[in-house]
Amino acid sequence: MLALAYAPLSYRAHGVFDELLMGSGSRLSGGPQILPDMDRLGQEELGRRQGAAEMAIVNFGITFTVYSEGENIDRAWPFDVIPRCMAESEWRRLEAGLVQRTLALNAFINDLYNGQKIIKDGHFPGEVVLESRNWRPELMGMAPKFGVWAHICGSDLLRDRDGVMYVLEDNLRVPSGVSYMLENRMLTKRILPELFHHQRILPVDDYPSHLYDVLASLSPRTGDRARVVVLTPGVFNSAYFEHTYLAQQMGVELVESRDLVVDADDTVQMKTIHGLKRVDVIYRRIDDDFLDPEAFRPDSMLGVPGLVRAWRRGKVALANAPGTGVADDKVVYSYMPRIIRYYLDQDPIIPNVPTWRCHIPEERQHVLANLDKLVIKPANESGGYGMLMGPHASAAERERFAGLIQANPRNYIGQQTLTPSTVPTLVDGRVEPRHVDLRPFILSGERTWVTAGGLTRVALRRGSFVVNSSQGGGSKDTWVIADGDRGK
């Protein structure tokens, strides 16, 4: 039996929350519902299915790009065949918390560029905004349609040893990974079709249609079908597979900067073999700095001159809006409970990780005195880079970070060290526990919609907390199992 064979391998004795064992029989886990199917297959057959999945990944060209010694290297997407399961009852609470959080974030960004009431009322320190490298004062007074700046958001969640799910961070600039969530579901349906016969798993494959509807709703023109494009930096970008995938799934054009031009009337035009065609909505996968050399970095070869000017005049919609990155900041993250209460008059549904802000002297002293116990994060890095895992760092590494914090306290936060929950994972033909996190995706337009589950990222090395694919992590399909199917 899988559960019996798996139990001795788990980290339960070390205070780790295992979602299969400790969630069994509770609202936290849908895992027990797939155990009979997994047991019928057995580890040998699971290994064969894993091999079939890896072959399909190669044949379908599901890749991601890593940068190594100045070169771009395409690698096959790392996928584990055993799905991570969650009961619908727990998911609905998380879904409500993500909607709440996204509404507050968009209200916060809109306020910062239009009046800054939260600062004037003394609920948020203005210097945190002014010192943010993603603050765009030139966009003051802009009011995007529906008051939404972050149309696509990916918030990272992690369950600690207490079984509580926490928000690790919010990704608002150009969040990636949703294509792999969709491909993971496709692979699981192909490789383990029998598992779908015994319970109702909430779908995720409707994401491209929801994304298109949100983007089309932003069009400045009415009456005509909106022309939507996906703007990519090009084939060498690490998320290029996702750019092409989403454009194909939505049935829209994938373009680079050389394919677009802003005309004398500040209208964005796409070059085609039939001449110029007006573009209404751009889903841009390029960071602000490189988006428009007229507005931001003049040396950018990836952007479109005049694009921000066209957006400001209401001739084109940009998703996510320029300037959104001001809230994609781990120092801003630390104020999210206060931001939610200010704009929504509600308590947060999903808690933040306990966090200390190094720009506040007394909190900085706490961080410096506890570098061996905390996780230190820079304000604007992503992908797990630039961090210090205090309990696992050397004395020299902690000393170096102490210097970095003292030199630029605004750029760092300290967080309580969490121990991510574990789930069953097939490793070298054997089912073992591995640490995971979760990235759901939230779409915001006239309404807010959340994927059912999201992208589960898994640390494939025993004992490792590193889930990023660029640093040796992998991924799983995430199943939210309808409560009406519990116990089948």
For residue 100, is pLDDT > 70? yes
Q: What's the pLDDT at 375?
A: 95
Instruction: For residues 18 and 418, give the distance between their C-alpha atoms in angstroms, rounded to a whole number.
Output: 14
Of the ranges 197-206, 226-235, 442-451, which one carries the lowest mean pLDDT score? 197-206
Q: What is the pLDDT of residues 427-478, one digit of tens each?
A: 888 888 999 999 999 999 999 999 999 999 999 888 888 787 666 688 999 9
221-315: CATH topology: Rossmann fold (3.40.50)
For residue 188, is pLDDT > 50? yes
Q: What's the pLDDT at 468?
A: 73
How remote is the C-alpha of 241 from its chain's centroid?
A: 16
How remote is the C-alpha of 486 from its chain's centroid?
A: 29
Instruction: For residues 187 and 289, give the distance between their C-alpha atoms in angstroms, rounded to a whole number.
Output: 36
Which residue has tokens 């040796």?
A: 472
The sign one gets for the Cα dihedral 35, 41, 45, 48 is: negative
Q: What is the pLDDT of residues 26-50, one digit of tens each?
A: 545 566 667 777 788 888 888 899 9
Q: What's the pLDDT at 7?
A: 57
317 φ, ψ (degrees, to nearest 5)? -105, 140
At 106, which helix (H) or strand (E)?
Answer: helix 88-112
DSSP 8-state symbol, 54: H
Instruction: For residues 389 and 376, give the distance between their C-alpha atoms in angstroms, rounded to a whole number.
Output: 7
Are the beta carbons of 440 and 175 closer than 8 angstroms?
no
Residue 385: band (very low, low, confident or very high) from pLDDT cuts 50, 70, 90:
confident
The stretch 18-30 carries a mean pLDDT of: 65
Q: In angstroms, what CA-CA distances link 422 with 15, 107, 194, 207, 222?
A: 11, 35, 24, 27, 49
Residue 70: band (very low, low, confident or very high) from pLDDT cuts 50, 70, 90:
low
Residue 8: band (very low, low, confident or very high) from pLDDT cuts 50, 70, 90:
low
Q: What is the pLDDT of residues 268-315, one digit of tens each?
A: 999 999 999 999 999 999 999 999 999 999 999 999 999 999 999 999
Are the beta carbons of 410 and 331 closer than 8 angstroms?
yes
At 128, which helix (H) or strand (E)?
Answer: helix 126-130
Q: What is the pLDDT of residues 315-330, one digit of tens each?
A: 999 999 999 999 999 9
Q: What's the pLDDT at 9?
A: 58
Q: What's the pLDDT at 431?
A: 86
| Residue 259 tokens, joined | 């394919």
Instruction: For residues 136 and 126, give the distance between their C-alpha atoms in angstroms, rounded to a whole number.
Output: 14
Whole-model pTM? 0.92
For residue 335, is pLDDT > 90? yes
- String of DSSP letters for 205-243: TTHHHHHHHHHHHT-S--SSPP-EEEE---TTSTTHHHH
**C-alpha dihedral, 122 to 126 to 132 to 135, nearest 10°:** 100
Residue 25: band (very low, low, confident or very high) from pLDDT cuts 50, 70, 90:
very low
The CA angle 198-204-206, to the nearest 5 degrees, is: 120
Instruction: For residues 41 and 47, give the distance between their C-alpha atoms in angstroms, rounded to a whole number.
Output: 10
For residue 72, is pLDDT > 70? no
The stretch 9-17 carries a mean pLDDT of: 65
Residues 6+ apart with CB under 8 A from 445: 146, 148, 151, 213, 214, 217, 218
> What's at 259, amino acid-wise?
D
378-409 in b/e burial notation, b at 16+ Cβ within 10 A? bbbebeeebbbebeebeeeebeebbebbeeeb
| Residue 163 tokens, joined | 């079984």
Are the beta carbons of 297 and 290 closer than 8 angstroms?
yes
The stretch 67-75 carries a mean pLDDT of: 59
Q: What's the pLDDT at 29?
A: 58
For residue 98, is pLDDT > 90? yes
Q: What's the pLDDT at 456?
A: 96
Dihedral class, residue 345 (left if φ above 0, else alpha if ψ from -120 to 50, else beta): left
How high is the mean pLDDT of the chain?
90
| Residue 256 tokens, joined | 């680079």
- String of DSSP letters for 158-199: EE-TTS-EEEEEEE-SS---HHHHHHHHHHHHHH-GGGGGSS
Instruction: For residues 167 and 155, give the distance between their C-alpha atoms in angstroms, rounded to a whole number.
Output: 7
Domains 221-315 and 354-417 share a fold: no
The stretch 7-16 carries a mean pLDDT of: 61
> What's at 315, amino acid-wise?
K
The CA angle 230-236-240, to the nearest 5 degrees, is: 35
Strands 430-439 and 455-459: antiparallel
Q: What's the pLDDT at 16?
A: 87
For residue 6, is pLDDT > 70? no
For residue 65, is pLDDT > 70? no
Q: What's the pLDDT at 487?
A: 42
Q: What's the pLDDT at 167?
A: 97
Answer CATH for 354-417 from 3.30.1490.270, 3.20.20.80, 3.10.20.70, 3.90.180.10: 3.30.1490.270
Give the whole-number percent of the chain exceeding pLDDT 90. Answer: 72
- What are the domain boundaries of the chain? 221-315, 354-417
DSSP 8-state symbol, 253: E
